[in-house]
Amino acid sequence: METIVTGDQVDFDPSAPPPSLSYVVRDFLVGFVLPAIAKYSDSWYVWPIYWVTGLLREPCFGLCFFSDSRLLNSFVGHISPSSILVPYHGWWNHGNVEKDELGSCTLDNGTKTLRFTIPFPRISSHFHPSSGLFSPNERLDVITSTASVVLVAALLLYFSILQGPIQMLKLYFVPYWVFVMWLNIVTYLHHHGYETKLPWYRGKEWSYLRGGLTTVDLYSDYGMFNKIHHDIGTHVIHHLFSQIPHYHLEEAPILGKYYREPKQSGPIPFHLLKILATSLNEDNYVSDHGGIVFYHTDPQRLKYFKNKSN
């Protein structure tokens, strides 16, 4: 890694190997070696260990900058998330009431039902080039990402026929389920659960900078998992300056009063479960009016759980 120091400023060259490319090589090697060991041993003592490695996977979601070449970044970026059926060009609008891709906080009951069953509507789909989530100049990127995911889905079908559905369940779908569960928890906590309520923005009040500043750092909360996850817990600076390589994110400056970081934990972040449960119980809805809104607790829901606990 080439680091150029000029006075008090440091310029990072993400394309200087190593370590940028070494992390990519390492992750792909792990991705091939672990399932090979599990399949070769075919032991019920080994399979659960392999499945838990779903916790270790953290691809580039539209923010893969390990090279100065946009084409190379895009190529490698497509391979990583597409392998777990996630479109590369997708997660951009954070803290936005209308366009946040992690989960809208203004869904009516009918939309919720359709989203979690069909899913529908397509207007807010990650895979649809005309989705309201994307601008017209992003449509080609969305088409490329969708085509990559379709190709992987076809390969999964092929290998399911070749290897058998039970073998593919053990090799791919169980660790995939573990990964999706872990990713959703981690991403949710990067945008919720802070001791002070985080603002969400609507309409003209939203900007990329404001959205990035509503995220929460958790790098001290991951304990032993921090380095395995490519320092993903340095979430605030990651969104503001996504070109900085992950192994230099901790060196980035703290953002003063705009910086939010929960309390530190031990080697295993069990305390995050309590933060998650509290947020899910208290962060229920935002107001339908206003450009800057905060989560509120549904009094009926709160009353229900209090009565249930008595």
Selection from 209, 208, 226, 228 nearest residue 218 by Cα: 226
Of the listed ranges 80-84, 111-115, 249-253, the least confidently predicted one is 111-115
pLDDT digits (tens, 9 = 90+) for 202-222: 888 988 888 888 888 765 566
Q: How many angstroms separate the CA atoms of 172 and 309, rounded?
A: 39
* Token pair 């001290």 in the structure block, residue: 220
Domain that holds residue 220: 2-309
How many domains, the chain?
Answer: 1
Selection from 258, 206, 221, 223 nearest residue 237 by Cα: 258
- Is the model's pLDDT at 153 over the cut of 90? yes
User: 62 falls in which pLDDT band (50, 70, 90)?
Assistant: very low
Q: What is the pLDDT of residue 41?
A: 92
Reply yes or no: is the peptide bond before residue 253 cis, omega within 30 of 0.
Answer: no
Q: How many angstroms separate the CA atoms of 97 and 112, rounded?
A: 15
User: 7 falls in which pLDDT band (50, 70, 90)?
Assistant: very low
Mean pLDDT computed over 120-136: 71
- Is the model's pLDDT at 170 over the cut of 90? yes
Q: What is the pLDDT of residue 80?
A: 75
Selection from 228, 229, 280, 233 nearest residue 252 by Cα: 233
Phi, then psi, of 293 in degrees rounded to 5: -130, 160
**Hey, what are 208's tokens?**
């990329």
pLDDT digits (tens, 9 = 90+) for 11-54: 555 555 556 667 777 777 877 888 899 999 999 999 998 888 76
pLDDT digits (tens, 9 = 90+) for 67-83: 667 777 777 777 777 88
